[in-house]
Chains A and B, each alone.
Chain A
Amino acid sequence: MKRLIGLACLLLLAVAAPARAEVAVTEVRGPESGVTAWLVEDRTAPVVSLALAFTGGAALDPAEKAGRARLLAGTLDEGAGELSSPAFRKALEDDSIELSFSARRDEFSGQLKTLAERRDRAFELLGLALSQPRFDADPVARVKSQILAALERDAEDPQTLAMRRLMAELFKGHPYARPTAGTPETVADLNRDDLLAAARATLVRDRLLVTVVGAITPAELAPLLDVAFADLPETAPQQAPVPDTTPRPPASPEQATVHIAKDLPQAVAAFAQPGIRRDDPDWYAAYVLNYILGGGGFSSRLMQTVRVDNGLAYSVYSYLYPFDHAALWLGGVATSADRIDRSLDLIREEWRKMAENGPTATELADAKTYLTGAWALRFTSTDGIAGLLLAARREGLGEDYVNRRNDFIEAVTLGDLKRLAARHLDADQVLTVVVGPKAQ
C-alpha cells in the first residue's frame, strides 16, 4: 500500500484506475430446453439471483391495448398451475422467494432471488408462473384496480407528467409515444384473453435471455433451467416489428418548451434531444461526455452551475437512454416556480458551451478514473451482478465484456469528445417540458 503524502498532493494527482471487476462467466445449457444462462458462481452469501429478459416489451402492445405488457407483469405471479393466487403468493413467501416481473418499452423482465437451499422450489415456481399462469378473474381485477389507481396518481405527479408528455411529443405516432402502463381507458378494457395473447406473444424461448449469480454450480443449474423454461413455446406467432425511429425536434424556438399548468410550489422540468444508440461506435464517447455534462453528480457541469454556484436546485442531471429503436439524451431539474426559467437558461448555456468547446483534458482524465474505478463498485450483490450481465447479454457484448468494459472507456480521446459534442449536442434540438404554475 502506497504511503500517503497529504491531501494537498492528492488533489493534483489524476490517479490510475483502481479496482477491476473480474468475474468468470460460464455458459450453462438446459439439456432439454436448450435455454442457456450465463452463470457466475459466487459464495459470498448463501443466495442465488436470476435475471431474465424477453426482448420486445410494451412497445409490442397493440395501440388500443396499451398497458397490456404491464398488466401481464402484474398478474404473472398471481396464480399458476394448481396454485390459486393466494396459494402462489404464500408459496413464494413461505420460502422467502422473491419473484417479480416488469415491463419496459423494449423488454419484459423478471428477477428471482432465493436462498441457495431453496432453489429447487424457486425455479419450480418461476416455471409455473411463466408457463401456466392462471389469470383468474379476481386477481386480474385486483391488479387492474391497482394499475388504474397508480395511473390516477400519475396524473398528479409532476415528474411522471413531464416524462410522459416528453415521450408523447418526441415520438408522436410511434409506440414509444405511449405510456408503458397504458391509459385508464385501455387498461379498463383489458381482459383475460388479452393476457393470454400477451403471454403467447412475449414469453417464448427465442426471445429469452437469462443470467444467474450466486451459490450454485453449473451442474446444479442446468436441470433447473429446464424446470423453469422447458415448457415455454419456442417462438411467438408472427407480429409486426417495432420500427426504428428518430425523436422529433422542436419545430421552432417557440415550440421548444411545452408548459403543463399545475399549481406547484416547485416546477419540475424534463428535457431531451436525440441521443446515441447503444451500438453506435460513439457510444462510449457519449457516455463519457454525458458524465462530464450532467451524469457525474457533483463532478458534472450542470450540478456545478445550477446547484453549487447558484443554489437553484437540489437535483439536476442528464443521462443517455438508448432504446432498441431510437435513442435520447435526457435530463431533468426541479426549481422553485419563480426561478425555473433561470435554471433552464443555465442548462441551455452549458449545453451550448459543451457543443462549442467540448470538455477539457482534465475533465476527460477525471471522468475516466471515475468511470473505470466505479465499474467494480457495481459488482457488490448477486442481483446487481446478474443485472449487469443481463444488460451485456441484451446488447450482444460477449461473456467477457464486463472484464473488458474499462478498455472501451480508456480508449476514448479528447478528439472523440470534441467531435461528438460539436456534431451531436444541439441546444436548439432540446425539447423541454415544464410542469408548474405559468410564469408571471
Chain B
Amino acid sequence: MSPLARRLTLLALVILPLALPSPARAEVFGAETATLKNGLQVVVVPNHRGPVIHHMVWYKVGAADEPPGKSGLAHLLEHLMFKGTEKVPAGEFSKIVARNGGRDNAFTGSDYTAYHQTIARDRLPLVMELEADRLANLRLAEEDFQTERQVVLEERLSRVENEPAALLAERLDLALWVTHPYRNPVIGWEDEIKALTRTDALAFHAAHYAPNNAILVVAGDVTLDEVLPLAEKFFGPIPAAEVAERTRPERLPPPARATIEMAHPRVAQASFRRLYPAPAASDPTGDTPALEVLGEILGGGGSSRLYRRLVVDDAVATTAGLWVDPHGRDYATVGLYGRPRPPHTLNDLEAAMDAEISRLLADGVSAEEVAGAIDKLTARVAYARDDLATGAEVLGRALATGSTVAEVEAWPERIAEVTPQRVMAVARAVLGGERAVTGLLRPAASAPETSAPEARQ
C-alpha cells in the first residue's frame, strides 16, 4: 500500500533458502553466468511467464564495510544514488523508470547494496544504461545531500526510535558481534548519521562502486545471449578499478553469554529473543544445509518442536519459533523468539525454550524429522521459482556474500544429503555453545516525559 521506496534490509526475514525442487539433475533456477573483461559478473535467470524482467545491480559493499564512526554511510549512499548524474538530474531516475512503465527501488544490508527495476523486457537497455550511468558518473549537490540525510534520519525514527523492539534489537547486535562490524545497525547510529558528509559519500562510492565489485542479475524473459551484448555496451566501457579490501576481524572475542533487558513504556507485551552466530555459508567449518534443516525441525512452523511444545501443548507462549539467516558473508545468524502467554512470564518462557533446546541436544533428532524438513526445504524451491524476483534476489545475495552460482543451483542435492548426525553436529556447535545474546523486552509503567527507556546489560 504505502510506496516505501529506498528500502533497508535489516538482518533476517528473508529466510528463503537457496533451494529448489524438481527432478534429478535439474537446477534450481537454470541460471547462466559470464564475466565481462572489466570484472562485472553477469547472471541471467530465465523466467518466461510474461514479457517482463527484473534487473538488479548488486555491489559487494554494505554497512559492515563502513569506516569506523561512519555507520549508515552505505545506506545513505544508496539513497544518494538517486540524486543524479550529468545526464540524469536529481530525482529523475525513478521518474524515468516510471514513465517507462517500470518500478524501481534499492536496499542495503551489512554485506551488500542492491538496486533493482522491474520493467518490460524491451526496456532492459534503458535500465541498464541508467544503472551504468550512475555507477560511473554519480554527482551530488550539497543541498540534495543535506535533504536526503534528513530523510534518512526520519527513516531511522520510523524504523527504530518509534519501535521499542527495534531499539532492543540494536543492543543485541552490539552485544553479539562486539568487535565485528555487524554490530552496527545498517541504517546507522543517529549521531553518526548526522556527522556524515557529502565528501564521505563520494569517497565511499569511489572506493567500492566499480564493475569488478558488482554483479548484474537479470531475471525474466531473456537469455544470456541477449543480455551479454547489452551489458558489454553499457557497462563494458567502465574500467575496472582498485576496490577497497573488505577487512573484517578474523574472529569474534572469546565466547560469552549475555542478557540484555529493556523496559519501555510503549511496550504492550513482553517478548523474548536470542541470537546465536554460526559459520557463514562459505565457511568450510560450517554446515549451512544442516543448519537450515535444524531450523526447520526446531522452529520452522506450526508443527515445529518449539511451537508444538511451547504454544500448543504447554501454552507457555502465544508464539515461539526460530529463524536461520544464512546470508551473512562472515557469519550466519540463528534467532529464537517468543512471547509469553499469560499467566506465564518471560522467565517461564525462557526456561521452556532452554528445556526444549536441552532436550534436542540430549535426545537428538529422528530420521523422520530430518526427512520431513528436507521435503519442506525442497518444496520451497518450487515456490521460489514461481516468483520473478526471487531467483534474482537469491543469486545476487549469494554471490555478494561469497557463494557461487553452482552452489545455489545444487541446493536440492546438498539439502537432500543432510543426515541426523550432521544436524546434531551443528546443533551442538551453535545452540550448545557459549556464544549467545538474549533480549528480554518488558512493558514499563508509563514514564514521565523526560525518562528515556532504560537498557542494562
Spell out A's residues near B (CB within 8 Å): 1-2, 4, 6-8, 10-11, 13-15, 17-22, 42, 44-47, 49, 85-86, 89-90, 92-94, 96, 98, 113, 115, 138-139, 142, 145-146, 149, 152-156, 158, 262-266, 268, 295-300, 303-304, 307-315, 317, 319, 332, 334-336, 366, 369-370, 372-374, 376-377, 379-384
Closest Cβ neighbor of A96 among chain B residues: B379
Q: B108-146 interface mask toward A, CB cutoff 8 Å, 1 = contact, 0 = none?
A: 000000000011111101100110010000000000001
The answer on a CB contact under 8 Å between B155 and A314 is yes
Cα distance A311–B153 when bound, in Å? 9
Please, which residues of chain A bring their CB within 8 A of the CB of B125? 1, 4
Q: List 30 A–B pairs whose Cβ atoms lie within 8 Å, in order of A's numbering.
A: A7-B96, A19-B51, A19-B52, A19-B122, A20-B51, A44-B385, A45-B383, A92-B302, A93-B303, A96-B376, A142-B315, A262-B266, A265-B161, A266-B154, A266-B157, A266-B161, A266-B162, A296-B98, A298-B94, A298-B98, A312-B150, A314-B154, A336-B157, A369-B101, A373-B119, A377-B103, A377-B118, A379-B49, A380-B52, A383-B386
Please, which residues of chain B bring their CB within 8 A of the CB of A115? 21, 379, 382
Which of B3, B154, B266 is in CB contact (< 8 Å) with A336?
A: B154
A21 and B119 in contact, given A15-B99, A45-B382, A311-B147 (Cβ under 8 angstroms): no
Cα distance A142–B94 when bound, in Å? 46
The answer on a CB contact under 8 Å between B154 and A334 is yes
Report, nearest first, the 6 A-B pairs whose CB atoms are least far apart. Answer: A373-B101, A311-B150, A18-B120, A96-B379, A19-B120, A266-B157
B residues 372-386 in Cβ contact with A at 8 Å: 372, 375-376, 379-380, 382-383, 385-386
Which of A44, A268, A297 is in CB contact (< 8 Å) with B386?
A: A44
The answer on a CB contact under 8 Å between A298 and B91 is yes
The answer on a CB contact under 8 Å between A372 and B101 is yes
Please, which residues of chain A bring their CB within 8 A of the CB of B151? 307, 311, 313-314
- How many pairs of residues, A versus B, come closer than 8 Å at their CB atoms? 237
B97 CB to closest chain A CB, in angstroms?
9
Spell out B's residues near A (CB within 8 Å): 1-6, 21-22, 47-52, 82, 87-88, 91-92, 94-96, 98-103, 118-123, 125-126, 129-130, 133, 146-155, 157-158, 161-162, 265-269, 301-303, 308, 311-312, 315, 318-319, 339, 341-342, 372, 375-376, 379-380, 382-383, 385-389, 447, 449
Cα distance A309–B48 when bound, in Å? 40
The answer on a CB contact under 8 Å between B308 and A366 is no
A18 and B123 in contact, given A309-B147, A311-B147 (Cβ under 8 angstroms): yes
Please, which residues of chain B bring their CB within 8 A of the CB of A307? 151
A10 and B161 in contact, given A1-B122, A1-B125, A47-B386 (Cβ under 8 angstroms): no
Cα distance A109–B381 when bound, in Å? 26
Closest Cβ neighbor of B221 among chain A residues: A19
Please, which residues of chain B bring their CB within 8 A of the CB of A303? 3
Which of B162, B302, B382 is in CB contact (< 8 Å) with A47?
A: B382
Which of A6, A263, A298 is in CB contact (< 8 Å) with B87?
A: A6
Closest Cβ neighbor of A265 among chain B residues: B161
List 17 other contacts, CB 8 Å, given A11-B88, A96-B375.
A7-B96, A15-B100, A19-B50, A145-B341, A146-B319, A149-B339, A156-B268, A262-B266, A263-B449, A298-B5, A298-B98, A311-B151, A314-B154, A315-B2, A376-B101, A380-B118, A381-B387
A377 and B102 in contact, given A86-B303, A298-B95 (Cβ under 8 angstroms): yes
A380 and B5 in contact, given A265-B162, A299-B94, A370-B101 (Cβ under 8 angstroms): no
Cα distance A193–B267 when bound, in Å? 34
A153 and B268 in contact, given A334-B154, A380-B389, A381-B386 (Cβ under 8 angstroms): yes
Cα distance A139–B312 when bound, in Å? 8
A299 and B119 in contact, given A10-B126, A266-B162, A377-B103 (Cβ under 8 angstroms): no
Please, which residues of chain B bring their CB within 8 A of the CB of A146? 318-319
A388 CB to closest chain B CB, in angstroms?
12
The answer on a CB contact under 8 Å between B96 and A42 is no
The answer on a CB contact under 8 Å between B94 and A21 is no
Cα distance A268–B153 when bound, in Å? 15
A252 CB to closest chain B CB, in angstroms?
30
Cα distance A332–B2 when bound, in Å? 8
The answer on a CB contact under 8 Å between A94 and B5 is no
The answer on a CB contact under 8 Å between B121 and A19 is yes
The answer on a CB contact under 8 Å between A297 and B102 is no
Cα distance A400–B312 when bound, in Å? 46
Please, which residues of chain A bring their CB within 8 A of the CB of B121? 19
Please, which residues of chain A bring their CB within 8 A of the CB of B146? 311
Which of B95, B101, B447 is in CB contact (< 8 Å) with A19?
A: B101
Closest Cβ neighbor of A89 among chain B residues: B302
Cα distance A299–B93 when bound, in Å? 10
The answer on a CB contact under 8 Å between B154 and A376 is no
A250 CB to closest chain B CB, in angstroms?
24
Cα distance A7–B386 when bound, in Å? 34
Closest Cβ neighbor of A48 among chain B residues: B386
Cα distance A390–B317 when bound, in Å? 36
The answer on a CB contact under 8 Å between B98 and A299 is yes
The answer on a CB contact under 8 Å between A266 and B158 is yes
Please, which residues of chain B bring their CB within 8 A of the CB of A376? 50-52, 101, 120
Cα distance A148–B196 when bound, in Å? 44
Cα distance A187–B98 when bound, in Å? 44
A322 CB to closest chain B CB, in angstroms?
14
A107 CB to closest chain B CB, in angstroms?
17
Closest Cβ neighbor of A46 among chain B residues: B382
B23 CB to closest chain A CB, in angstroms?
10
Cα distance A309–B1 when bound, in Å? 23
